Amino acid sequence: MEMTQTSKTDDGLVVELQRRNRDAMEELYDRYGRLAFSVILRMVHDAGIAEDLVQETFLRVWNRIQFYDASKGAIGPWLLAIARYRAIDYLRSVRSRNCHTVAYDEAEADRRSLTAEVAAFENGRRVRAAMRKLVPNHLRVIEMAYFEGLSQVEVAERMGQPLGTVKSWVRMAIRRLREELVPEGAFSVQRSAIGFR
């Protein structure tokens, strides 16, 4: 079964991944690979190592997809949590090999990471519910910018739409998401955070 970029939701991808569909893994990588890379790169500060850790992250997702529990949050935050843990494991191994590495309080780092992960899963549920209320074009531009890390120009090219149209869709989508989420205080979007400058 061939899948297009827009043919599967994240939940649909999970089903296909659990059926061991390699095309679904490629699509998951297309959606989250750049974002996982940027999360890891910010932690390890080395592009080559970040690329290796991204590969390890996706291999781990492939090997552990049967244990994924959608009731605890979306696949994106779960995958990014795995990416963060791969980076933390790498930094710990470097620290143990190199006594010059700046020490940090592991317990505090783990606590912060766990707190952030729990918050991300809870916010993920609310964000998914709000995103389901977006019209299809607005949803797609947010997915492409936020989850795939594309610029406005790249989104416009991929969708075959004028840049001005894409900018309008982004503004309307962000406004709608704010209306849904800000009253509860869980959503703060900065344009630069989703790849729009």
What single string gives the DSSP state of each residue in 133-162? TS-HHHHHHHIIIIIS---HHHHHHHHT--
Both structure tokens of 134? 């977006």
- At residue 103, the pLDDT reads 44
DSSP-derived secondary structure letter, 191: G
Residues 138, 173: contact at Cβ < 8 Å? yes
Cα 27 vs. chain centroid, distance in angstroms? Answer: 13
Whole-number percent of the chain with pLDDT over 70: 73
CATH number assigned to the domain with residue range 133-197, chosen from the 4 options 3.40.50.300, 3.55.10.10, 1.20.950.20, 1.10.10.10? 1.10.10.10
Residue 41 burial (C-beta neighbours within 10 Å; 0-12, 13-18, 19+)? middle
**pLDDT tens-digit series, residues 37-78:** 999 998 899 999 999 999 999 999 999 998 888 877 788 888
Residues 6 or more apart whose CB falls under 8 angstroms from that of 124 comprise 73, 74, 76, 77
pLDDT greater than 90 at residue 10: no
Q: For the chain, what are the domain ranges?
A: 8-122, 133-197
* Residue 42 identity (one-letter amino acid): R
* pLDDT, mean of residues 92-100: 68
pLDDT greater than 80 at residue 17: yes
pLDDT greater than 50 at residue 101: no
pTM: 0.48
- At residue 183, the pLDDT reads 58
Tell me if residue 93 falls in helix, strand or coil: helix
Separation of alpha carbons 136 and 84, rounded Å: 31
**Assigned CATH for 8-122:** 1.10.1740.10
pLDDT greater than 80 at residue 118: no
- At residue 117, the pLDDT reads 59
Both structure tokens of 7? 């043919």
Which range, 96-100, 143-147, 161-165, is most confident?
161-165
**pLDDT tens-digit series, residues 129-162:** 888 899 999 988 988 877 667 788 889 999 999 9
